[in-house]
């Protein structure tokens, strides 16, 4: 009976703790970083982002120089408008639903952690949705409900299997 309890404990550990740990690191995180060539604040933020990419391998940084590139300036203005922000200065970072202005490292790291464990809207998706819907600020994340449904089905199957094993061994 002690052997059975150990096996049951291991099954519950694997069923409930490991999937949560695996899913936390698997969410891709996209951020859009707008900077200016020669800007010292931007250079420090770029260096910080390199360190974040090491700590968060699921992080993708899209880097745009806006001082000397007209197309990037236009993208910056559109992105800022989609987020309801002004495009007055750099560095500016767009991630999920957050805008990080200046060298706010704590806010940036918090946003990266949040988007690593939760599903966040891609800034590009938010921009495209905003362009299509005249600056709509609350786009739906495609596929979220389907992913949640699959997760609940898997959890239900695991629970039913565990209960079935308990009943089977108790009747023996």
DSSP lists the bridge partners of residue 92 as 34, 101
Distance CA 138, CA 127 (A): 11
Question: What is the per-residue pLDDT across 38-87, written as a single tens digit (0 to 9) for each?
Answer: 999 999 999 999 999 999 999 999 999 999 999 999 999 999 999 999 99
Q: Is residue 90 part of a domain?
A: yes
CA 5, chain centre distance (Å): 37
pTM above 0.85, yes or no: no
What is the domain range of residue 103?
28-141
Average pLDDT, the chain: 84
User: pLDDT of 11-43, one tens digit each?
Assistant: 655 565 555 444 445 699 999 999 999 999 999
Q: Which residues, 6+ apart, have CB-to-CB distance to 114 below 8 Å?
A: 96, 120
99 found inside a domain: yes
Query: How would residue 143 be classed by pLDDT, with cut points 50, 70 and 90?
Result: very low
CATH number reported for the structural domain that contains residue 121 in this entry: 3.40.30.10
């Amino acid at each position: 009976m002690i052997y059975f309890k150990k096996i049951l404990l291991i099954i519950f550990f694997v069923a409930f703790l490991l999937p949560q740990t695996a899913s936390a690191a698997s969410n891709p995180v996209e951020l859009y970083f707008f900077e200016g060539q020669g800007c010292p604040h931007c250079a420090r933020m770029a260096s910080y982002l390199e360190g974040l990419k090491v700590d968060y391998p699921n992080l993708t940084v899209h880097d745009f120089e806006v001082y000397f590139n007209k197309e990037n300036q236009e993208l910056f203005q559109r992105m800022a408008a989609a987020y309801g922000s002004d495009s007055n200065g750099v560095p500016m970072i767009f991630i999920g639903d957050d805008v990080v202005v200046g060298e706010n490292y704590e806010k940036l790291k918090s946003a990266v952690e949040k988007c690593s464990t939760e599903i966040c809207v891609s800034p590009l998706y938010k921009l495209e949705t905003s362009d299509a819907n005249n600056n709509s600020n609350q786009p739906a994340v495609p596929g979220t409900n389907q992913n949640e449904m699959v997760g609940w089905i898997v959890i239900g199957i695991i629970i039913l299997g565990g209960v079935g094993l308990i009943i089977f061994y108790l009747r023996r």
